[in-house]
């Protein structure tokens, strides 16, 4: 049966598999997926760096802007980190994403590699659930000028230096003073990122349909500083009051060294990532499998 998606891009986690046995197995997996897509009537292209670093030949190659212009679906093979990276790049281009995980189940790469034929075939025919995830736009402001900006799908984290003590951070929401917090750092997480660093720091899990952010202090000096859930329409500003070697991290990918007086301003991006899941997919199924709920239950 003809696929609803005619032009499909394949994107893989190529940074750690460019050579050796793992590279060969990953290359074979990508080529197997490409062959399957051909049997479903799809025209397949590879993301340029994926093909180059895996040594894949015989297929058209496109860079990310080219994928956005020419493809109507992207299959991401790897883990959640791979999906976060490409999701940020493709969000403004509107290309839907399907995540295939070769290792452990991911929160957003939720199709096991061994199930691709039985799972992907109906999805390509249009039998899928669509899931939109908001992104954050974060800027580092210094003396009234933007010195760094980035998109984040998971979180924005302000951290103390590796060898220094606590940082003091002034927190404002929509221009209203909230508190000065002394802590090891502060996390602003989307609902997608609520199951990442924010969860390990004691924050709540937010269902991805909830249009909210969670503000989570890291090891706060005052134990009454607790996580708080905020509407994602709000603007959050964090000013570094004191502390050495502090940094700002955006999805743990980008890094900016901070000076006293720097302000990290976070707003909701106008763009969102589009994830496609198998028909009948449930976020709670993912939580049960990923967090090992109900193990040992009768």
User: Which residues does 199 contact at the CB level (< 8 Å), separation at least 6?
Assistant: 205
Q: What is the pLDDT of residue 187?
A: 98
Listed residue (58, 60, 44) closest to 6, CA to CA = 44
Question: At 296, which helix (H) or strand (E)?
Answer: none
Higher pLDDT, 145 or 297: 145
**How much is the pLDDT for 137?**
97
The mean predicted confidence, pLDDT, of the chain is: 91
14 has a pLDDT exceeding 90: no
Q: What pLDDT does residue 253 have?
A: 78
The band of 20, judged by pLDDT with boundaries at 50, 70 and 90, is very low
Q: How confident is the model at residue 209 (pLDDT cuts 50, 70, 90)?
A: very high
> Residue 267 is encoded by which pair of tokens?
């707003």
Whether residue 96 has pLDDT greater than 90: yes
**Position 74 pLDDT exceeds 70:** yes
Q: How many CA atoms lie within 13 A of 157 on its CB side?
A: 22
Instruction: Summarize the confidence of residues 243-270 as an average pLDDT.
Output: 92
135-270: which CATH topology?
Tumour Suppressor Smad4 (2.60.200)
Where does 7-127+279-291 sit in CATH, by number? Answer: 3.40.50.10330
What's the rounded mean pLDDT across residues 252-262? Answer: 87
pLDDT at 258 over 50: yes
Mean pLDDT of 276-288: 93
Structural domain boundaries in the chain: 7-127+279-291, 135-270
What integer pLDDT is reported at residue 34 of this predicted model?
A: 96
pLDDT of residue 256: 80
Q: Is the pLDDT of residue 3 over 90?
A: no
pLDDT at 16 over 60: no
What is the pLDDT averaged over residues 241-266?
91
pLDDT at 269 exceeding the cut of 80:
yes
Which residues are known to be catalytic?
80
Distance in angstroms (rounded) separating the CA atoms of residues 33 and 22: 17
pLDDT for res 103: 66
Indicate the pLDDT class of residue 22, thresholds 50, 70 and 90: very low
**CA trace torsion 23, 18, 97, 272 (10° rounding):** 150
Task: Give the pLDDT band (50/70/90) at residue 17.
Answer: very low
């Amino acid at each position: 049966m003809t696929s609803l998606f005619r032009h499909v891009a394949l994107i893989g986690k190529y940074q750690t598999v460019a050579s050796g046995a793992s590279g060969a197995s990953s290359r074979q997996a990508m080529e197997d997926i490409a062959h399957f897509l051909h049997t479903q009537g799809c025209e397949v292209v590879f993301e340029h760096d994926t093909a180059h670093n895996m040594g894949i030949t015989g297929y058209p190659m496109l860079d990310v802007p080219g994928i956005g212009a020419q493809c109507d679906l992207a299959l991401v093979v790897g883990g959640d980190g791979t999906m976060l990276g490409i999701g940020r790049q493709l969000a403004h281009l509107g290309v839907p994403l399907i995540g295939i995980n070769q290792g452990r189940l991911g929160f957003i790469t939720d199709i096991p590699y061994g199930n691709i034929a039985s799972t992907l075939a109906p999805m390509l025919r249009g039998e899928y659930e669509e899931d939109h995830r908001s992104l954050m736009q974060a800027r580092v402001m210094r003396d009234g000028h933007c010195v760094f900006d980035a998109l984040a799908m998971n979180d924005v984290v302000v951290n103390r230096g590796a060898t220094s003590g606590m940082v003091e951070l002034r927190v404002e929401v929509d221009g209203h003073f909230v508190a000065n917090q002394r802590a090891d750092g502060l996390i602003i997480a989307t609902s997608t990122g609520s199951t990442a660093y924010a969860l390990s720091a004691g924050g709540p899990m937010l269902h991805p349909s909830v249009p909210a952010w969670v503000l989570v202090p890291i090891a706060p000096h005052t134990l009454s500083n607790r996580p708080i859930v905020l509407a994602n329409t709000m603007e959050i500003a964090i000013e570094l009051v004191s502390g050495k070697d502090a940094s700002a991290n955006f999805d743990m990918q980008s890094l900016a060294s901070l000076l006293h007086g720097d302000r990290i301003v976070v707003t909701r991006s106008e763009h969102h990532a589009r994830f496609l899941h198998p028909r009948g997919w449930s976020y709670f199924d993912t939580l049960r499998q990923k967090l090992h709920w109900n193990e040992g239950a009768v």
